[in-house]
Amino acid sequence: MSREPRKLLVTGGAGFIGSNFVHHWYSQYPGDRIVVLDALTYAGDRQTLADLEGKANLRFVQGDICDRSLVDTLLKEEAIDLLVHFAAESHVDRSILGPGAFVQTNVVGTFTLLEAFRQHWMLAEQPATYRFHHISTDEVYGSLEPDDPGFSEKTPYAPNSPYSASKAGSDHLVRAYHHTYGLPTLMTNCSNNYGPYHFPEKLIPLICINILMGKPLPVYGDGQNIRDWLYVGDHCSAVEAVIRQGTPGETYNIGGNNEVKNIELVEMLCELMNEMAPEIPVRPAQSLITFVKDRLGHDRRYAIDATKIRTELGWTPAETVEGGLRRTVAWYLNHQDWWQPLLSAEYQEYYRQVYS
């Protein structure tokens, strides 16, 4: 069945999940117009979109989501009907070191986008097809005990870090704009993502890169913290399903059905690197595992109950954690030219502050 081309504004589209989404959407709907807005802070890299540069239907704009004039201009001149909001400060450790940037980007930035999109939607006489899709996290729900059921869309919010608190604030704004103004919003709360183009500060790329460099593999506390791991390609397909079929005003939780203890995840990565990277300087890679002082306020367990998106929209993740990790390790082995320049002096200083 034919469809009218859509005009997307994707915030944070040069970041990890955002760039994967841009690639996914372009592969599915090459006739749609995609405008990427990204401030290119430390975790944004235009090289993540290098293979799409020059495509007629893709435009890249470097700018801040808090710049209301810029957002207004893009919405108007591109006649945007779908705003997909990935832009965020997203690393818990950095939020502990400097929470101010998280409030500015995640709360003020989301507010700026909501206000601009609301005006744009109203000037267009409130078309039923318009959507504002907000990408959020399972961390807004707090921490689970070992036998607790997974987070559902009805789980009360209980954020425990400056990062998760700022995301909770942005979620509340999105919900309020739907209920107060009728803005056609959608919201998804996802579990931990992994895959290509993941900045080296996050656990999985950090472990892969440190093994290649023969450096210690830092594991917080006792390593028993549990996360539900979601391959980024599955996340992108879930967001697509919500955009296509989701009900405005609703929230959908997205999980990978892959609960793994941190220490077990690190050991799995070590095994894959032992197998797939025969030239690593230290073998076996497991000998590099080093337990470090636990993160402040470290949540013990996250898990997602994805019943709603499965039953209402028919979405389920396609990737197992074993298969997804193998694909991810292969990507980092084959794209050292992408991640090596990211190990800057600023990154090394951040690493020293967190793990020393």
Question: For position 42, what pLDDT does the model report?
Answer: 85
Residues tagged active-site: 138-139, 163
Question: For position 14, what pLDDT does the model report?
Answer: 97
**Residues facing residue 226 across a β-bridge:** 261, 301
Tell which residue, 232, 178, 182, has the closest CA to residue 202.
232
Chain mean position to CA 195: 11
More confident residue, 1 or 101: 101
Question: For position 350, what pLDDT does the model report?
Answer: 86
Tokens of 250: 């609703």
Tell which residue, 264, 278, 266, 293, has the closest CA to residue 354.
293
Which regions of 250-331 does DSSP assign to beta strands (E)?
A: 251-254, 259-261, 289-292
Query: Is residue 1 predicted with pLDDT exceeding 60?
Result: no
Give the integer Cα–Cα distance in Å for 99 and 95: 4
Give the integer Cα–Cα distance in Å for 303 and 187: 18
User: Phi and psi dihedrals of 9, rounded to 5?
Assistant: -110, 115
Give the integer Cα–Cα distance in Å for 16 and 14: 7
Mapping DSSP to helix (H, G, I), strand (E, B) and coil, where does residue 166 land? helix
Give the integer Cα–Cα distance in Å for 32 and 129: 15
pTM for the complete prediction?
A: 0.96
Please say whether the beta carbons of 319 and 231 come within 8 A.
yes
At 210-264, the pLDDT tens digits run 999 999 999 999 999 999 999 999 999 999 999 999 999 999 999 999 999 999 9
More confident residue, 108 or 97: 108
* Sheet strand arrangement including 192-194: 192-194, 226-231, 259-261
Distance (Å) of CA 260 to CA 225, 322, 355: 8, 11, 22
Query: Is residue 55 predicted with pLDDT exceeding 80?
Result: yes
At 269-301, the pLDDT tens digits run 999 999 999 999 999 999 999 999 999 989 999
Identity of the amino acid at 344: S
Tokens of 151: 């987070």
Domains, the chain, in order of start with CATH, read 7-197+230-256+302-319 (3.40.50.720)
Mean pLDDT of the chain: 96
At 131-158, the pLDDT tens digits run 999 999 999 999 999 999 999 999 999 9
Q: Over pLDDT 70: what percentage of the chain?
A: 99
At 173-183, the pLDDT tens digits run 999 999 999 99
Give the integer Cα–Cα distance in Å for 282 and 219: 18
| DSSP strand pairing (259-261 vs 226-231) | antiparallel
**pLDDT average, residue stretch 115-123:** 98
Query: Is residue 59 predicted with pLDDT exceeding 90?
Result: yes
State the pLDDT confidence band at 356, using cuts at 50, 70 and 90: confident
Question: For position 119, what pLDDT does the model report?
Answer: 98
Please say whether the beta carbons of 187 and 253 come within 8 A.
no
Query: Is residue 45 predicted with pLDDT exceeding 80?
Result: yes
Question: For position 38, what pLDDT does the model report?
Answer: 98
State the pLDDT confidence band at 100, using cuts at 50, 70 and 90: very high
Q: Around Cβ 296, how many Cβ atoms within 10 Å?
A: 10
At 8-34, the pLDDT tens digits run 999 999 999 999 999 999 999 999 999
At 299-344, the pLDDT tens digits run 999 999 999 999 999 999 999 999 999 999 999 999 999 999 999 9
